[in-house]
Chain A
């Protein structure tokens, strides 16, 4: 969110209001998300995948960008949501909206349980624990092929039409409309959360975890809360994937996916709410454009991009743009 320059005499209330109001560029962004219906009608399936990835990245932003928790295993919740939706549909209940809710609940519950561990550690121990828990879940799913289908993937996922009318087909119209609406609603929740006192305390934790207990803040409780919310949101994203593609493979729990969403968020800019969305668009579009290229070489360029972003553009694209904008504003007119 760009910093507001208060006019002389502006009170503290209007300053805070100014910081959270809807900017025209945000409205333009959301209007632009309708463009694929008219401009790229053949790419709606891809667009729905982008929306799902954006939702996943948004969930990571909540813990990474705002609370400062570095997680190398966030795909655990994405995968949990995907498998929950997939498995339940396989055994007879395929109503998409209720599956979303159930997936969110399952992922949220596991996230809540894990949050007790997560909140106690920092630095290397935290990174390793998130990595370890993610790998654990991946291995568990791999071994439990009676439930998950193991390395072959989940067979027999059967999703009913949305609201009993809209079928999920290869054209992706239903998929994109559905994913986009879910993304937007989740975004509204995230946006409200960030602008609440809780959001402020999360930023406090990120900015200076030592100072927080010194002002009486229950940091661990705050971290547990945001981790749970983030896990539930990631679970929704995973369930959306299962529903829109009618497949679930082990890949949804992989380190690859955790690393990809991290790259996406950093590329766009963490801690800016739109960073994950922007990063998802750029990354997925680029990946689709270069899909002919050997995956190995794709990761070479991703590696180079990571190095470049860290050395040159540490706050991602949005951060870089914000810096440009503020140096523009400071120029004497």
Chain B
């Protein structure tokens, strides 16, 4: 049996007396679409921060494939294919979308260290960046400066930046957060358009996205995994209802 692409074992983290992660064990098989849900403060973003190396765990281990990556620096994890997007747009405000994605491509290719060749000389990198942006329907607006883009477009740019790194595992932190209704179809298309080679774990509050895209759901409460299962199991689970979906009184 092949190792899961991403796994944690007994992952734990606390801030003083506040426990944000306790004994987290889970595994992501290749190519799945898992959703991570839970009430606010359950520790979902913290878990992503732990897995990507932005937070150091107090205990436990993280595995990317066969490799243990618990002590690797964040940039190194990205280079090995573990990539995330941010819940709040963390973009380059004054770079155009094309420049931003080209930057990500160049970093991946190791070209970002060369200071004596002009950027337009890297035609492949630019073509690749433009291709990613076009696949997300941002091609025609890619010359615009990031802060002038519509919010939904910025969320898509978040994903574009992640895709430019050629991830093996993609952690999406509330990709639809704040996106206005009329811009969400583009976002849905982007998520469903993600290649089968990429394993995806996404945090979402929007249940329509969760039930539409997820093959399996992990529920977190108070820093722990409450339950894990197929979408219909989770929807029917009374514990989950109590904690998160709320007691249903009608139908």
Which A positions have Cβ atoms within 8 angstroms of B? 3-4, 6, 10-13, 15-17, 20, 192-193, 195-201, 203-204, 207-208, 210-219, 221-222, 225, 229
Q: How far is the CA of A225 from the CA of B115 in the complex (A)?
A: 10
Q: How far is the CA of A10 from the CA of B79 in the complex (A)?
A: 32
Contacts of B126 on A, CB cut-off 8 Å? 12-13, 16
A20 pairs with B119, CB closer than 8 A: yes
Q: How far is the CA of A16 from the CA of B120 in the complex (A)?
A: 6
* Residue of A196, A208, A216, A219 with highest tally of chain B CB at under 10 A: A216
Q: In this complex, what residue of A is CB-closest to B117? A: A196
Which B positions have Cβ atoms within 8 angstroms of A? 52, 73-75, 78-79, 83-84, 86, 90-96, 98-100, 102-104, 106-108, 111-120, 122-123, 125-127, 129-130, 142-143, 145, 161-162, 164-165
Contacts of B116 on A, CB cut-off 8 Å? 192-193, 196
* Residue of A11, A12, A196 with highest tally of chain B CB at under 10 A: A12
CB distance from A169 to the nearest CB of B (A): 37
* Residue of B98, B106, B126, B164 with highest tally of chain A CB at under 10 A: B106
Q: Which single member of B83, B84, B108, B143 contacts A15 (CB below 8 Å)?
A: B143
B75 pairs with A217, CB closer than 8 A: yes
For the residues of B in contact with A, the DSSP-based class is: helix
B106 pairs with A207, CB closer than 8 A: no
For the residues of A in contact with B, the DSSP-based class is: helix
Q: In this complex, what residue of A is CB-closest to B101? A: A215
B95 pairs with A204, CB closer than 8 A: yes
Q: How far is the CA of A173 from the CA of B52 in the complex (A)?
A: 59
B90 pairs with A193, CB closer than 8 A: no
B75 pairs with A197, CB closer than 8 A: no
Contacts of B123 on A, CB cut-off 8 Å? 13
Q: Which single member of B74, B98, B129, B161 contacts A213 (CB below 8 Å)?
A: B74
Q: How far is the CA of A253 from the CA of B100 in the complex (A)?
A: 38
Contacts of A203 on B, CB cut-off 8 Å? 92, 94-95, 99
